[in-house]
């Protein structure tokens, strides 16, 4: 597999870890940068979500993360909206690394299509068999 046409480079949040998931996604042919690689260790642990969301939006990176709650935090939701961030979130916080990778890789063509069709902002939940667009407005 190679990085799909029309899919911008990926930005991985700290919630996906620094080593296993990024390496496996790279091994699958995806281009990415992790929060730790961009900001350095241990600075990556202190970076506010609004800051890296702003960065991802300004660079045009597509975000992979585990935090679907980001849409309920007013400051984080505002950063997603203001900077047209395109986010894909795993819906389970307890998945092992190999299952996280499998879900992203299995859905990568659907993820790429969503990015080609929509400049953002948006947040999708990544399930084992599909992706699902989540509401960004407060509920």
**Contact in structure between 121 and 83 (CB atoms under 8 Å):** yes
Using 50, 70 and 90 to split pLDDT, how confident is the model at 96? Answer: very high
**What average pLDDT is seen over the chain?**
94
Strand pairing partners for 122?
A: 86
What is the reported pLDDT for 93?
Answer: 84
What is the reported pLDDT for 138?
Answer: 65
Tokens found for residue 32: 């990415």
- Whether the per-residue pLDDT at 64 is higher than 90: the answer is yes
User: Domain locations in the chain?
Assistant: 10-134
| Cα gap 50→85, rounded to integer Å | 11
Q: Stretch 116-133: mean pLDDT, rounded?
A: 96
| Cα gap 13→25, rounded to integer Å | 13
Using 50, 70 and 90 to split pLDDT, how confident is the model at 1? Answer: confident
**Entry pTM:** 0.95
- Whether the per-residue pLDDT at 67 is higher than 90: the answer is no
Considering only the C-alpha atoms of the chain, give the largest distance between any 2 of them, rounded to a whole number of Å.
Answer: 39
Pairing of strands 32-34, 62-65: unpaired
- Whether the per-residue pLDDT at 139 is higher than 90: the answer is no
């Amino acid at each position: 597999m190679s990085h799909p046409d029309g899919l911008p480079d990926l930005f991985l949040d700290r919630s996906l870890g620094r080593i296993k998931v990024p390496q496996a996604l790279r091994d699958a042919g995806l281009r990415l940068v992790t929060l730790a690689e961009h900001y350095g260790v241990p600075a990556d642990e202190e970076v506010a979500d609004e800051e890296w969301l702003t960065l991802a939006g300004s660079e045009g990176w597509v975000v992979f993360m585990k935090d679907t709650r980001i849409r309920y935090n007013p400051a984080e939701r505002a950063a997603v909206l203001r900077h047209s961030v395109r986010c894909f979130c795993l819906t389970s916080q307890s998945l092992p690394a190999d299952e996280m990778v499998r879900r992203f890789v299995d859905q990568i063509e659907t993820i790429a299509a969503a990015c080609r069709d929509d400049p953002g902002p948006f947040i999708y939940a990544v399930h084992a068999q599909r992706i699902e667009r989540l509401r960004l407005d407060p509920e």
